Amino acid sequence: MKERHIKKLLLGLLLLIGQTAWADGVRHVAFEETFNSNEGTGGNDGQFSGNIGLKKIRFEQEGWTSTKCNGASQCLKFGTGSEDGVCTTPQIILLGKQGVLYFDAAGWASGQKSLEITANEGVTFQENTTFELTAGGWNTNYCIHFTLETATYLQLTFTGRRGFLDNIRVEEDVTTINAPTLPDEYLFWPNTTEEATTNITLIPSDSTTVYYTTDDTDPSEVNGTKATLTTNFKITGTTTVKARAYYQGVASELVSKTYTVGATVEMTGFKERNDGDEVRLFIPENNGGRMLLGQDGKAYIRTNDGAVCFDFSTKATFNPAPLFGQYVAGWIIGKKQTDDGLVKLVATSNTNTNYLAMAEYGDNTPTPIAISYDSNINGHIGDWVMGNDIRNEGTFFSINDVHDYALIDVSGIVTSTNRITPYKLGGYSPVTYVIDEDQEFVSPNENIEHARVRLKRVLKAGQWNTFCIPIDLPSFADAQLRKYEQSEGSLMKFVEVLDFEAGMPYLVKPELGDIKNLIYDDVTLSATPAKSIEDGDYAFVGTYSPMNLATDKTELFLTNSGSLAYPSSESVATIKGMRAYFHVPAGAEARLFIDDDATPIGEIINGQQSRSKDQNWYDLQGRKVGKANKGIYITNGKKLLVK
């Protein structure tokens, strides 16, 4: 014990007799450092100059840091004649918010002698903290009051040049002490169909005793459960937990938190909840739950009561991975969110799939909702839908990655208002481009590779059909294919080819039966427009879309009976799409040569023409012949080819 402090201690004891409170609270020594373990010279041995204070510092409390400081005689020497010494206390945990710092300090025998005290952020001092020290002598009356405005601890830094420091003590007024800590209020759910339970962790403030209740009464030293250390306990059902800390009879503020059993709802109830509500979604076994798609942290599920998207992002995942058509039942916790009409269950910290059953369920896979050209799909947001002959952007529909005004068949998930994201599900192709003989075809701006194309066109067997399509194909099996080559006068000559070229007009003759229901996978839908093959004043012109022919006898079509004809009026001038027509000079008696068979307007001859005994035959110069060998002849006013 340092002699100079005996009188000070006796005076302190007298003040404490009969006084157990300070500022209507409790005096609590929160920190004390006496430096009594230091065995160097200087300070308490009366030496304040010379070759002193050279020992390594010995601290009684752990956590100190220092620079330019040394151990002296049962005290600390700081600083030199040219540099400041700095020493910083450990973090001092306080029960209350107000306190007093006491310390002793002495100055060097000569020269500059100063000391400055600072504290961590959130601490306010009520007195001056910068001092000129007494040269060659101790001052034991330093006393500074402080308040923790926002901080939860106190940390002091002593900075000075040429002095001595001793007997640092922090006392606090615990009129108000820190309250215990309870978890933030939250929702919890039963893990099964039993009653919901959850664990609560209560953390006392330092050196205090905590009492808590779960029966909605206020805790006190005579009421509730006592907890002196961090305590875990279980609650059942919605419960209000109240807690209060005590220190030597002084109580903290009351802490009260309510932990609530969250709602469990089925699909209909989930969709009626407000956005942001966290609930447990329950899918009964008999509710038809089926997995539609699992991809990129999202899973689309349909039940008998509608569809929902589970949006897990990176917070939770399905295990095992979801597969199309899987049976889905059980429950999962999440937050309701609506994005552009898409109802989502968004993952929270409570989300997991431990209680969501997913398994194969025989062959009973989900079937997409059928939609038509004029359907409004708003009611199917989040669901798997399919539709035929839909004009993209032409009605209520918009399909990702499909050019505007394309006619398509589509299968996919409705992921936002009036938008279908195509997916290949259950054998359905996501997008099929449709070319319909009765509807306008809009070509893409550029080729679409690996496309699926459906042709709504019937090619009649046993007759020639004009045909023009925007895809490359091999010729049909059991069908003849001809391409226009050139004209000889009014004769238009067609030759045999083996493949269809996109945009090129052709003549096609099926042999064994009608060709229809044409669907092609992995082809290139060409941006090439329909072509016109010309030779002089004659042309064979393709068209993808229905169109009106001229009525001036310059545009002819091929009839079902195999004749060439021109429209008699504008009311009957329309030809259907995926066809071709013949452009000829006005009034010309055009003929078709198909494999060297002359075809007059009104009659197509593909084989030999039988001759009656009284039939007269003339060559092209008008001379009568007795026997018609191979060649072109005129009989009964018609040109015929004899093979």
Taking only the tens place, the pLDDT of each residue in 281-304 is: 999 988 889 988 887 788 899 999
User: How many helices and strands in the chain, by DSSP H and E?
Assistant: 2, 57
Helix (H) or strand (E) holding 426: none
- Asked whether residue 521 falls in the same domain as residue 505, the answer is yes
Alpha carbon 22 to its chain centroid, in Å, reads 59
Q: How far apart are CA 57 and CA 52, in angstroms?
A: 13
- Could you list the residue range(s) of the whole structural domain that residue 268 is in? 264-359
The secondary structure of 498-560 as a DSSP string is SEE-TT--EEEEESSS-B--EEEEEEEE--PPPPEEEETTEEEEEESS-EEPPSSSSEEEE-T
Clarify whether residues 273 and 257 are in a common domain.
no
- As to burial, measured by CB atoms within 10 angstroms (0-12 exposed, 13-18 middle, 19+ buried), residue 360 is exposed
Return d(Cα 243, Cα 181) in angstroms, integer: 8
What pLDDT score does 172 carry? 86
Q: How far from 592 is each of 216, 485, 640, CA to CA, in Å?
A: 101, 11, 11
* pLDDT on residue 197: 92
Q: Is-above-0.85 flag for pTM?
A: no
164 within some domain: yes
Selection from 2-6, 112-116, 232-236 with the highest mean pLDDT: 232-236
- Same structural domain for residues 276 and 247? no
Closest residue by Cα to residue 397 from 382, 416, 383: 416
Q: Which two tokens stand for residue 264?
A: 């469990």
DSSP label of 12: H
Average pLDDT of every residue of the chain: 86
Flag whether pLDDT at 595 surpasses 80.
no
DSSP sequence for 174-225: -SS-PPPB-PPP-EE--SSSS--EEEEEEBPPTT-EEEEESSSSPPBTTBSE
Tell me, yes or no, whether 402 and 466 share the same domain: no
User: In the chain, what percentage of residues exceed pLDDT 70?
Assistant: 85
DSSP string, 264-311: EE-HHHHHHSPTT-EEEEEE-GGG--EEEEEETTEEEEEETTEEEEEE
Phi-psi region of 82 (alpha: psi -120 to 50; beta: other; left: phi over 0): alpha
Cβ atoms of residues 476 and 482 within 8 Å: no
Q: What is the pLDDT of residues 242-258, one digit of tens each?
A: 999 998 788 889 999 99
Q: Which pLDDT tens digit goes with each residue over 566-576?
A: 888 888 899 99
> Which CATH number goes with the domain that contains 47?
2.60.120.260
For residues 609 and 64, which has the higher predicted lDDT (pLDDT)?
Answer: 64
296 and 235 both lie in a single domain: no
pLDDT band at 550 (very low <50, low <70, confident <90, very high): very high
Decide: 125 and 145 in contact? Cβ < 8 Å.
Answer: yes
**227 assigned to some structural domain:** yes
Residue found by looking up tokens 């009520």 in the block: 126
Q: How many domains does the chain have?
A: 6
Q: Look at residue 592 in the predicted model and tell me its pLDDT.
A: 87
Burial of 186 from C-beta contacts in 10 A (0-12 / 13-18 / 19+): middle
- Residue 395 in domain: yes
Cβ distance 375 to 300 under 8 Å? no
Q: Which of 141, 173, 205 is the last residue of a domain?
A: 173
The helix/strand/coil state of 571 is helix
**Pair of tokens at residue 577:** 């799409």
Residue 270: predicted pLDDT: 95
For residue 8, being part of any structural domain is answered with no
